[in-house]
Structure 1
Amino acid sequence: MGITFIAGRLENVVGWYHSHPGYGCWLSGIDVSTQMLNQQFQEPFLAVVIDPTRTVSAGKVEIGAFRTYPEGYKPSDEPVSEYQTIPLNKIEDFGVHCKQYYSLDITYFKSSLDCHLLDLLWNKYWVNTLSSSPLLGNGDYVAGQISDLAEKLEQAESQLAHSRFGPLMAPPQRKKEARDLFQAALSCLAQVRARQVQRVLCLSGRGVGKLKEESQLAKITRDSAKITVEQVHGLMSQVIKDILFNSVRQSSRSGSESSSPEPMVEA
């Protein structure tokens, strides 16, 4: 702070930001400690988290802003307003510290300088933008999501086997029901819109869990829905590009062939 004042910048630092590539916008244990320490010595101060991988995959900015609760404060047990997919290897870190901070509403804008810079980038790389495909560019990320989803299904199956309701069903039947639920979610989500998907999933989550908190299978269904919707959006963009460019070229070619004069045949 002293260096900024010496340089003539009298503005205070109001926060910090970092990225969580591929595993969502939330605060880990280290993030909570960093944010809590800064809130004690300089206010206002907030933490901003950006997920660049999910931003590219979903086609919208994945960003979150957070502040920590005072030390010793116990928040009310209210359900999370917005569900987000957490990888299996990050769930423990997420669950331990999720009650120590809260999220803030975010609004962002594009300034005239941002518009100018984006126009320069578009004029230089427009060919790469049109020829790129999110399905190919995010192949590793999607493969990781599917692998994580498979691990969650196996974990849910093992938890069901050790629950008090486990002995009521044979292992093959439990496995078949888990697979049927997963396949039903994928086939259903590929045919409806994103808003309709959310309504269907909320209803299915209530029916499966019948508890205050959503069951593990219902959360897995939500995760599979997210993957499916993103893939459908990627396919839609490819179909639109094909219609705009390939169909126009084919129609113009067929029109030129039909307008060419027929060869004269001597009798």
Structure 2
Amino acid sequence: MRNIIKAIELIYSFHWIKEETSSFLKEKIFKNHILAIIEELKHEKLTSQEYKNVEYAINSDIFKNGIFDFFLNPNDYKINIRDLSVVLNMAIYGHSDNTLNINKLVDISVYIIKKLRVRSISCEYFKLFLEKIGKTTDFIERACDTIEIREIHKSKRLTIQTYFNIYSSDNYFEEITIYYPGEGKSWLDWTEENSLKVHVFKYDIPKGFFLYGFDYYSDIRGKIRFATRTNEKNFSILKNIRAKRLFGFNRKYAESYQ
């Protein structure tokens, strides 16, 4: 194990392969830890359909290429129970007015965060990766206000706002207005009432930020093309480039959204 850790440190010291190493370790953490935690949920008090819903949510863009990817980037974001519960809800039900049983949703999120924190402490390469992006295990927050979380999930508006505020910071200058379906609606009316503004850094926006059924308008770039889960050309954030194969995968280059 020590040799593996030294190899990772050496690899990370070379700027030209740093991005590939980062992608490799993110995928390794996702497979060896996130999916393993979800597998453990089979032994919890979940129905077969509930487990399938959670499994689907964890493998969706909104989690894997959204909050999970954002957490493993060099920023000040701390993953927490409130945000995870919102992500699970949004991944399963999108922008509908339905929701999982709120208590069960909170319990599942508490379980995942608790297990993730333990694994981030016990796994050397996980802990090392966090250190390399300027984070510690304290960036996995266990404390939560369950009353606050329940109130969020009772409101479609609060659920959506909480999700997009994950990626917003007053330190970022680009303002994006997001239009979403209002309470009891499945369509956009492009009104101020059913919209929110977030401040983002475009190179730190994960793919999961763009969701089907929402419109985005940048104060710098104007209207961002309508985003769907099936047509990635509308919001290309990552583009695979044919390049020399390193460690079994291709290099990826960040590409600004249109």
User: Shorter-chain TM-score: what band?
Assistant: under 0.3
Structure with higher Rg: it is 1
Task: Report the TM-score when normalising by structure 1.
Answer: 0.23
**More helix as a share of residues:** 1
**Greater relative contact order, per chain length (Cα 8 Å cut-off, separation 6+):** 2
Task: Report the TM-score when normalising by structure 2.
Answer: 0.23
